[in-house]
Amino acid sequence: MKGETVPVTDHAQLANLVEMARRTPSLFDLTGRAALVVGGTKGLGQAMALALAAAGADVCVASRGPQGLKETEEAICRLGRKGASLAVDATQEPQVEEMIRRVTETYGRLDILVNSQGIVHLQPIAEFDLEAWQRVMDVNLKSVFLCGKHAARVMLAQGKGKIINVSSVRGFQGRAQDAAYAPSKGAVNQLTHSMAIEWGPKGINVNAIAPVFTRTAMAAPSLDDPATRAWILSRIAMKRPGELEDLFGPVVFLASAASDLVNGHVLPVDGGWLAS
């Protein structure tokens, strides 16, 4: 319109943006990075470990083991990366300290930590077993704290690192008979925020992924029951449960340079569950 000032294109800036845009695919390249996936021998953890390896990272998987440890390590090696595995009870601080020491000894550094360990116990709340409650809290929350604490010591010395905690859509919602799992995942969300605030200025990005019901051994009873499956799908806007490969992109993104300004975020991978 008459009287408006037409902006002058900054050709040098545009040319610079074009060159930076050409490098976009390389932002997701994890070559030379060392990753540790706790709970990485089955389900979501195993899938994410393989995705990180496929993106170029050397990956150590850890679990209470020994089931799945060597098989997952060998699968990582088949992807052309340096795989390793450790049997660890991540609820015990001395074992966590030793795990981090061995990972850094193996790879010389630790760039990525994925906390994918988790268990569930459902029971009427008025009768909820205290030992079961404590076990869920220890595995789902205490171990996430311990692994983050000791991995961060290495990452703080390096001046850089990525921590990815696995939460759940249940971290945003309660449910009947769930006095432990949903509260533990809500606490993981807040722990993620606290770690991100403290360590973000020091070069460590801390984020979380919150999956919906995904085809794993833990979710199988719900997904295999026709009535429960129908209810689950009624809540998911995309009308399907999660699949293991749905975690590939999100974990690589949060582990890579593509997410360098993403910090303290809980990323739902839920097909629209929370939106519904």
Residues serving a catalytic function are: 181
- Ranges of beta strands (E only) in the chain are 34-38, 58-63, 83-87, 112-115, 161-166, 204-211, 266-269
The reply to whether omega before 66 is within 30° of 0 (cis) is yes
Give DSSP secondary structure letters for 8-51. Answer: PP-HHHHHHHHHHHHTGGGGG--TT-EEEEETTTSHHHHHHHHH
Rounded to an integer, what distance in angstroms lies between the CA atom of residue 107 and that of residue 42?
A: 23
Give DSSP secondary structure letters for 130-150. Answer: HHHHHHHHIIIIIHHHHHHHH
* Burial of 6: CB neighbours in 10 Å, binned 0-12, 13-18, 19+: exposed
**What H or E segment, with its residue span, contains residue 78?**
helix 69-78
Closest Cα to residue 54, out of 21, 15, 92, 28?
28
